[in-house]
Amino acid sequence: MSEQITFTPTRPYLARAIYEWICDNQLTPYLLVDATQPHTDVPLQFVKDGQIVLNLAPHAVHQLHISNEAITFSARFGGVAKEIYVPIRAVLGIYAKENGQGLFFDPSEYADIEDTISTANEESQQKAETTKKKPSLRILD
């Protein structure tokens, strides 16, 4: 019997490496995002054809975090601060603005991988909602 071994996707590791390479070369990192993916939180007014390009330059974003599950940061869009959440499965590419060098990913890489984090979050949220007490007011004399 052969047991199939499952590996974690390479996308988050490669995205971190390419981001670092772009910054080390004093270039501007751009992130190409599929804004139609579930749980993606980006400014919709800038989405074109279901995609958005985000500037990840260190001077343009605050608290950038590239984890194995998502890329998160805050940035200003039209002068308004917004928290950005991009699931790794929604990352289509990361490249340098100046020369286009970078890495683009196979959109089907995550097709067979269940979004376990979202499922766990939804389950815990449902559990919290069912155990919540109804608010009540008491008049004190």
User: Per-residue pLDDT for 39 more than 80?
Assistant: yes
User: Per-residue pLDDT for 104 more than 80?
Assistant: yes
User: Per-residue pLDDT for 113 more than 70?
Assistant: no
Q: What is the mean pLDDT of residues 40-55?
A: 96
The token pair at 132 is: 């919540």
Q: What is the mean pLDDT of residues 92-103?
A: 97
Share of the chain above pLDDT 70, in %: 77
Q: What is the mean pLDDT of residues 124-131?
A: 54
Between 1 and 50, name the one with better pLDDT: 50
What structural domains and CATH numbers belong to the chain?
8-102 (2.30.30.220)
Share of the chain above pLDDT 90, in %: 67
Q: For tokens 């196979």, what's the residue?
A: 106
For the stretch 11-36, pLDDT in tens is 999 999 999 999 999 999 999 999 99
Angle at the Cα of 8 from the Cα atoms of 7 and 9, rounded to 5 degrees: 115
For the chain, the average pLDDT equals 86
| Rounded Cα distance, 87 and 40, in Å | 6
The answer to whether the CB of 66 falls within 8 A of the CB of 12 is yes
The reported pLDDT for the residue numbered 130 is 53
Give strand ranges (E) for the chain.
29-34, 51-55, 62-66, 70-77, 80-87, 91-96, 102-104
Q: What is the mean pLDDT of residues 59-75?
A: 97
